[in-house]
Amino acid sequence: MLAAERRNIILERIQQEKKVVVSTLSREYEVSEETIRRDLDKLEDEGHIIKSYGGAVLNESSLTELPHNLRRSVNVVAKQRIADLVNDLIEEEDHIFLDASTTSLYIAKTIKQKEHLTVITNSIENLLELSMVSGWDIISTGGKLKAGTMSLFGRRSAETVAAYHTDKVFMSCKGLSMDMGITDGNDETAGIKQAMISSSEKVYLAADHTKFDRKAFAQICGFNKIDAVVTDSKPDDAWKDFFRTAGIELFYPE
């Protein structure tokens, strides 16, 4: 296993468990404790974790804006589970928005066997992923490239979104909480998702289990704008009751 791959796995584990122990990682990955400490040093230098005695804990403030190439490799299994569920929710001839989240990239990879779809996206990676699919209409929002995100934002992007009306939008977020609703890391990402919501018939929030009970900087919308939530595992009873009361459909693997 390459060092970079091991660090990504360690970071994903810290995101899920909130902490790790050096001796445990050393034993499981069959490397020295000194090697694990160097991995943790690197992750701390990048701002993702805070080292503690004998291990490390998650730097909660880093969750809002991980680099795109790193976010893509975090919670891979969860994102694929969500993509598989979304695949069953998309019908032939649908017109859909896909946001620029890494979860949407997994969705784009999974739905390519559909006969014909119209996909509008502000993600350069989604455009590349779908560029060789024949019989589809793929539309870029255009706009300003946001450094490090492979995403297009800004006034031009929002204007393009507003010019269309789709059957469905599939979008992710940085956090969802019962009191603050759906949140993201900054105003630009929140703004383009707000435009997609306004231009869609049905709004699907694709959010893995790590996003629940979290708040990020910028609010996207309240739960009154969400029609369905697609997640990778069964939420706890409080969230299930919350969605039921709000009239929000809930999809997760049985």
DSSP string, 187-199: HHHHHHHHHHHHT
> How much is the pTM?
0.76
CATH of 71-251, one of 3.30.420.40, 3.40.1260.10, 3.40.50.720, 3.40.50.10470: 3.40.50.10470
Q: Of the candidates 251, 249, 191, 246, which has an alpha carbon nearest to the alpha carbon of residue 217? A: 191
Residue pLDDT, tens place only, 56-112: 998 765 544 444 555 555 568 889 999 999 999 999 999 999 999 999 999 999 999
pLDDT digits (tens, 9 = 90+) for 170-204: 999 999 999 999 999 889 999 999 999 999 999 99
pLDDT tens digits along 18-28: 889 999 999 99
Burial grade of 122 (CB within 10 A; 0-12, 13-18, 19 or more): buried
Q: Distance from CA of residue 226 to its chain's centroid?
A: 16
If DSSP codes are grouped into helix, strand and coil, which group holds residue 62? helix
Numbered ranges of CATH 3.40.50.10470 in the chain? 71-251
> Tens digit of pLDDT for each residue in 3-18?
877 888 888 788 778 8
By residue count, the chain amounts to 254
Listed in order, the ranges of the chain carrying CATH 1.10.10.10 are 3-62
The structural architecture, per CATH, of the domain 3-62 is: Orthogonal Bundle (1.10)
